[in-house]
Amino acid sequence: MLEVRGLRKVFDQGGTQTVAVGNISFSLGEEEFLAIVGPSGCGKTTLLRCVAGLSQPTGGQVVLGGRPVVEPPPEMVLVFQDYTRSLCPWRKVLGNVLLALEHGVLTRAQQRRRAMDALRLVALEGFENHYPWQLSGGMQQRLQIARALAYRARIMLMDEPFGSLDALTRAELEDQFLAIWGAATGSILFVTHDIEEAVYLADRVLILGPRPSEVVAELAIALPRPRHQLHTRADPRFVEYRNAIFTRIWAKDTASAPAAAGRGA
Amino acid sequence: MGPGSRRMLRGLVPVAVLAAAWEAAPRAGLVDPAFLPPAGAVLGAWGDLAWSGELPRQVLVTARAWAQGFVLAAVLGIAGGLVMAFLPTARAMFSLVVELLRPMPSVAIIPIAILVLGLGDAMKVAVIAYAALWPILLNSLYGVDGVERRLHDVARTFHLGRWRTAWRILLPAASPLIATGLRVSSGIALILAVTAELVAGQSGLGSFILQAQLAIRVAEMYAGILTVAVLGFGLNLLLGAVEGRMLAWHRGATAKETA
């Protein structure tokens, strides 16, 4: 349903050209959880901004439902890594979720009901009247996820959403989010620099090389769901996937892919 | 005793020392009492003037001009700043004008204002509004400019549109800086109110101070000056309280970050 074709993004800063995204093509299927991993600075965020319609690619295009994306489409919602800067500090928790619903289609009662439903999903019920800055980092990120859920887009784009959380909170949020995703319908495009997180969460992992980034390999993750922080991570296949991706990212010669990193493992 | 009241008591120590010095110096002949009467004499004059209703009357005149000029400046400044922030055409048109007018000392327009508006309240209000306009306008403009790019992204992602983005994201996000502009301008507005009254006022604290000085009622002159100081202090407290209520979220959010 979502297709990225030959996407390229070049930044021109005072005559110096920086190729942030070299040439990236992939597609995202219905109900699919696709993770994109790559070393930091490989243009993952830039790629996601282009997919979201917040930034225009220099070359190639993003196609959603047969139409090129030039503006943020209503079928997509974006969750940012930096929750403190993405939430409105002057709005309380409920108000921050309502922000996603104020585009003018719903009645007030509908907005409120949907916002409360979303807060219940991320277990923030009872915190409606707190300000975001009164919450912990993990709770703030859950609030941002609740806001995105309330919007009810078919595709959720996530830019390292758990990247600035501590390990325990991160594991908790990963599982909470997988449960929510499993119960709902929709696709996820999840960008991360954490290889294990990508393997743990996704159906399929795209591996990007260093800048100017290209897709160097693609890996289907055939681990059973629901996944489990202990069992899944101890599964020999999990370790195999992880090692394959790790090797692939750091392979000097990007032309010869190890067999394990090939399609459809 | 709480830490707050202890801090206030500590703040009063230098005030008490200054008052004591003010009382002692003229009595000891260190300064000529004709220029600086002892603190007690000034306080006495102050009490008489307050009791007779003379000072409250003058305070009311000055405070009313301050309020009218300040509100006018706030409305025009916030509106102007927002229009310049939102419309590139307006910004291109007016930024040079703003940059040319802003650095000019505002008191310099008092003669023009007298020429055009005469010596009445209209002149005073116009001068106050003019001087108080700039900090409010620039802080509103820069406040909107400085809104995190991330919040623009959020507004676009959720399809808020131009107006909702302006009212529900940019204006609240800029409000702490706008409040700073208002605080700065409130002080400027009082300076201009008293200056305009000193130069051309028929009533008000500035005019009262000048009249007392001309009549060599030195203690009364000092009483007038003290009143201006207290008025400025009170107006600042008032604005601080309003800001504290309206921007409680901002104090909370920033306190947490520095904690």
Instruction: Give the ipTM.
Output: 0.88
Mean pLDDT throughout A211-236? 90
Does residue A71 sit in the same domain as residue A187?
A: yes
- Search chain A and give the residue with CA nearest B151: A86
Least Cα separation, residue B243 to chain A (angstroms): 14
Does residue A163 sit in the same domain as residue A141?
A: no
The answer to whether the CB of B20 falls within 8 A of the CB of B27 is no
Tell me the C-alpha distance between A216 and A258, whole Å. Answer: 11
Banded model confidence at residue A135, pLDDT cuts 50, 70, 90: very high
Question: Does residue A19 carry a pLDDT above 70?
Answer: yes
The answer to whether the CB of A78 falls within 8 A of the CB of B157 is yes
Which domain CATH number covers B77? Answer: 1.10.3720.10
Decide which of A133, A152, A171 is a domain's last residue: A152
A52 touches chain B (CB under 8 A): yes
Does residue A146 sit in the same domain as residue A29?
A: no
Contact A102 B158 (CB under 8 A): yes
Does residue A159 sit in the same domain as residue A142?
A: no
**Number of A–B residue contacts, CB under 8 Å:** 66
Instruction: Find the domain containing A178 and state its range.
Output: 2-75+155-261
Does residue A32 sit in the same domain as residue A94?
A: no
Instruction: Find the domain containing B66 and state its range.
Output: 36-251
Between residues 89 and 108 of chain A, which touch chain B (CB distance below 8 Å)? 89-91, 99-100, 102-104
Tell me the C-alpha distance between A64 and B5, whole Å. Answer: 63
Does residue A62 sit in the same domain as residue A125?
A: no
pLDDT of amino acid B26: 92
Task: Name the one residue in this structure whose structure tokens are 């032309």.
Answer: A255
Whether B198 maps to a domain, the answer reads yes
From A74, A89, A100, residue closest to B249, measured CB to CB: A89
Does residue A22 sit in the same domain as residue A138?
A: no
Does residue A252 sit in the same domain as residue A170?
A: yes
Tell me the C-alpha distance between A46 and A32, whole Å. Answer: 21
Task: Name the one residue in this structure whose structure tokens are 């009791």.
Answer: B51
The answer to whether the CB of A18 falls within 8 A of the CB of A10 is yes
b/e per residue, B59-93, with b = 16+ CB within 10 A? bebbbebbbbbbebbbebbbebbbbbbbeeeeeee
Question: Does residue A39 carry a pLDDT above 90?
Answer: no
pLDDT of amino acid B259: 42
B256 touches chain A (CB under 8 A): yes
Contact A77 B157 (CB under 8 A): yes
Name the domain count of chain A: 2
Whether B141 maps to a domain, the answer reads yes
The segments of chain B whose pLDDT lies below 50 read: 257-259
Least Cα separation, residue A205 to chain B (angstroms): 25
pTM of the model: 0.84
pLDDT of amino acid B120: 86
Does residue A6 sit in the same domain as residue A136?
A: no
A72 touches chain B (CB under 8 A): yes
Write out the two tokens for B198: 């000193």
Does residue A219 sit in the same domain as residue A230?
A: yes
- Search chain B and give the residue with CA nearest A144: B154
Whether B6 maps to a domain, the answer reads no
* B157 contacts in chain A (CB < 8 Å): 52, 54, 72, 76-78
pLDDT of amino acid A38: 87
Does residue A189 sit in the same domain as residue A251?
A: yes
Name the domain count of chain B: 1
Least Cα separation, residue B183 to chain A (angstroms): 20
Decide which of A99, A120, A152 is a domain's last residue: A152
**pLDDT, tens digit, 9 for 90 and up, residues B188-224:** 999 999 999 999 878 999 999 999 999 999 999 999 9
| DSSP-derived 3-state class of residue B111 | helix
* Prior bond of A212 cis (ω within 30°): yes
Does residue A146 sit in the same domain as residue A160?
A: no
Decide which of A152, A173, A195 is a domain's last residue: A152
Banded model confidence at residue A104, pLDDT cuts 50, 70, 90: confident
